[in-house]
Chains A and B, each alone.
Chain A
Amino acid sequence: MQSSASTADGTVAPVPRLAMHFASLEVQNHAARLGMWLFLATEILLFAGLFVCYGVYRFLFPEAWAACSRSLDLTLGTVNTIVLITSSLTAALAVHYAKEGKNKMVAVQILLTLAMAIGFLVIKYFEYAHKFHIGTLPGRYYFYEGIQLPGAPLYFTVYFCATALHGLHVVIGMIVLGFSMVRALKRGDFGPNNYTQVELGSMYWHLVDLVWIFLFPLLYLV
């Protein structure tokens, strides 16, 4: 089922199987990529709903929004942004090495990405813990004395919904990339003709990154 082709560094990399209903490998990869793009579009629309909520309530409660935004820890947020952007770079490098058939490097780059993802989640954990402690919580759980403006509990509803949904995507992304890492290590599968899986995983990771790039300024900066 798997035929072989030589790669730049002389190793033999297997070619993916062509499913019987596709005309050629090219079409098959094109279909996979198109499917992923469409899926990512739906993901963006999922977050778009939250952005609409954010926009509406920011318009209704400008003071509360400003005050709550200032109560977040800008340093932690910035560090997290840098961590996530860097992880996007390593994810992209994984694709680069996959195209060259350097499976070890693919695994290394994904490992780095995963490490940064964990770092991101750990920082997020500290931020969450702090909020649970001081009481900047959604809706009826809000008990923070520092900001007593109407709309403040709503800000944290939006904050928690958005960051939790984003966090969930981080975890899913880690699982997706983790699969490619295992495959690169165990089977050394990737090569010039067979890198779609890494590419799709990395596309997903870029989405996770992109969503954060919107969330960060909206929640922390403005």
Chain B
Amino acid sequence: MTPSSSIASPGAAPAHDEHHDHHPSYLVDGTTIKSWLLTVDHKRIGIMFLFWVLLFFLVGGIFALLIRVELLTPGPTIMDAMTYNRTFTLHGLVMIFLFMIPAIPAVFGNFMLPLMLGAKDVAFPRLNLLSLYIYLGGALLALWGMLNGGLDTGWTFYAPYSTHTTTTVAPVLFGAFIIGFSSIVTGINFIVTVHTMRAPGITWFKMPLFVWAIYATSCIQVLATPVIGLLLVLVTVENLFGFGLFDPARGGDPVLFQHLFWFYSHPAVYIMVLPAFGVMSEIVSAFSRKNIFGYRAVAYSSLGIAFVGFFAWGHHMFVSGQSTFAGGLFGVLSMLVGVFTAIKVFNWVGTVYKGAVDFKTPFAYFCGFLFFTVFGGMTGIGLATTSLDIPWHDTYFVVAHFHFIMVGATIMAFLAALHYWFPKMFGRTYHEGWGLVSAALIILGFNATFIPQFLLGNNGMPRRYYEYPERFQALNVASTAGASLLAFGFLIIAMYLTYALFFGKVAGKNPWRSKGYEWLTESPPPTHNFVGPQPTYPEEPHFYVDPKKAEVPDAV
């Protein structure tokens, strides 16, 4: 913020930063292992989350490839039926609970939220560190269970199967329960941070849209997670002791399980996509060099999605014997979510319109994201129509739907965020050419993987089967080919980003010339986020005066 410090930064290399003897970047302020493991700095905690989240993504990804290889041929290919069940369960659990839910909030939320609010840290820094270790503890417990006995229920743990299976239910479910705590703690921390830590000048409607999205996500996390926490405990207890709560043989009601499960897990899908929406709002504005079109509509629609998301869970139970009236009602309420999402989509498109588009890697991911969201969302409307859901239910159509919208949108946003904020986090830039190439590969690979699955489902291939009739083979081979392309794309990213981490060009304070508040400080930021007096915030966060003049914001 002080002129001298901003002049010093462009030449400064992050790893051996000699210029700020008094304000070293958070990366080099303490280099012992202990200074990382016991840090309460939200930025370091974010980086540690990044490490673990990527590791679990790798694990989940390897299992995804194993599934796809198994499905290459109609009969058994590389594993037996039981192993297949365990493989897709592990894939689903790891991807959902260990990657998708924490990915954007725990990594980028942690790193960016305080910077975007002009705060020195989150409200409860030690709780923040605790949430990392709770997450790790739960993850290791669950993985240990998966490898010793292996759960075979799928990530939905449907009762009464899950209360009877002899595979290791207890450690896995309990692990998921513990991870839920981490999610709750992070959510509480972010909500309190937004309420109490905004710098003078940052009013509610001057908060960056990413903050709004994380705020709405945190509300869902806090409201929904306890319910599934309880449910996981009940299922564990029932599996161990035969309490009979969800076992029809003892008078229990398995549909009650489904209600409680989807009461969390439907909103949970918005825990995964809302942060993605937030990232995209930042990126579309930064790379169109325009203020976001309809800021308030975008902010409110996040809250709207968070709210109606709680009333849509019944659409997972259209074929469970619920009344036609309930089915119709849940269908309509689900479509309401589509309306709120459409508001965002129109606003993003409106932002790009007549903007000065700077087609960099994050923007490439935005394009992919827009396609996956719109296409995936439309198939959701289809599924929410009860008469259409009856043939599609539990087929590959559903698998393709949720991979498109949930995985597609979230991965696009995760990668976009990783590229957009890479210079802020590590002070270096990556190679733009490789960025674009891998983005193209990934978007192509994604489509090639999941479009065949829409067709498979529509032709009647059920999900979670490991053998299938001859006539489904061509599409399955296409899907596996797409998955390989996808994996190849990730490999390239891993290589050039690792290279950039050590040898990339020094980024300087604001390489994108973005107007986001997080760019007002150094890259990488010093330990307490700002050097000298606190920055002031006279302008809105997405304020570009004239898109055609790519003017550099002056940090006040």
Q: What is A's interface to B at a CB cutoff of 8 Å?
A: 19-22, 27, 30-31, 34-35, 38-39, 41-43, 45-50, 52-53, 56-57, 60-61, 138-141, 150-151, 153-154, 157-158, 161
- With A20-B528, A48-B227 known as contacts, the answer to whether A154 contacts B120 (CB < 8 A) is no
Please report the C-alpha to C-alpha distance between residue A14 and residue B374 in the assembled complex, in whole angstroms.
58
Q: Which one, A38, A45, A61, A139, contacts B244 given CB within 8 A?
A: A139
Q: Is the C-beta of B325 less than 8 angstroms from some C-beta in chain A?
A: no
Q: Which one, B123, B229, B234, B252, contacts A31 given CB within 8 A?
A: B123
Q: Which chain B positions have C-beta within 8 A of A27? A: 196-197
Contact string against A for B residues 143-169, beta-carbon threshold 8 Å, 1 for contact and 0 otherwise? 000000000000000000000000000
Q: Is the C-beta of B394 less than 8 angstroms from some C-beta in chain A?
A: no
| Residues from 145 to 203 in B contacting A, C-beta threshold 8 Å | 184, 187-189, 191-192, 195-197
Q: Which chain A positions have C-beta within 8 A of B247? A: 139
Please report the C-alpha to C-alpha distance between residue A27 and residue B196 in the assembled complex, in whole angstroms.
6
Q: Which chain B positions have C-beta within 8 A of A42? A: 184, 188, 222-223, 225-226
Interface residues in B, total, Cβ within 8 A = 42
Q: A20, A157, A161 — which one has the most chain B CB atoms within 10 A of its CB?
A: A157
The answer on a CB contact under 8 Å between B230 and A49 is: yes
- Given contacts A30-B196, A31-B197, 16 further A-B pairs with CB under 8 A are A22-B197, A35-B192, A38-B188, A41-B223, A45-B226, A46-B227, A46-B229, A46-B230, A47-B230, A56-B256, A139-B243, A139-B244, A139-B250, A140-B244, A151-B251, A161-B234
Q: List 27 A-B contacts (CB under 8 A).
A: A20-B120, A21-B528, A34-B192, A35-B124, A35-B127, A35-B188, A38-B191, A39-B184, A41-B223, A42-B226, A46-B227, A48-B226, A49-B231, A50-B230, A53-B234, A53-B245, A138-B241, A139-B245, A140-B243, A140-B244, A141-B241, A151-B251, A154-B244, A157-B244, A157-B245, A158-B245, A161-B245
| Residues from 338 to 370 in B contacting A, C-beta threshold 8 Å | none
Q: Is the C-beta of B440 less than 8 angstroms from some C-beta in chain A?
A: no
Please report the C-alpha to C-alpha distance between residue A140 and residue B245 in the assembled complex, in whole angstroms.
11
The answer on a CB contact under 8 Å between B188 and A157 is: no
Q: Which one, B226, B229, B242, contacts A139 given CB within 8 A?
A: B242
The answer on a CB contact under 8 Å between A49 and B226 is: yes
Cβ of A170 to closest chain B Cβ, rounded Å: 17
Q: Is the C-beta of B70 less than 8 angstroms from some C-beta in chain A?
A: no
Q: Which one, B187, B250, B528, contacts A154 given CB within 8 A?
A: B250
Cβ of B494 to closest chain A Cβ, rounded Å: 34
5 nearest A-B pairs in the assembled complex, by CB-CB distance? A139-B244, A49-B230, A139-B243, A21-B120, A21-B121
Q: Is the C-beta of B119 less than 8 angstroms from some C-beta in chain A?
A: yes
Q: Which one, A35, A45, A49, A153, contacts B250 given CB within 8 A?
A: A153
Q: Is the C-beta of B237 less than 8 angstroms from some C-beta in chain A?
A: yes
Q: Is the C-beta of B547 less than 8 angstroms from some C-beta in chain A?
A: no
Q: Is the C-beta of B125 less than 8 angstroms from some C-beta in chain A?
A: yes
CB-nearest residue of chain B to A39: B188
Q: Which chain B positions have C-beta within 8 A of A161? A: 234, 237, 243, 245
- With A38-B222, A42-B225, A43-B226 known as contacts, the answer to whether A139 contacts B124 (CB < 8 A) is no
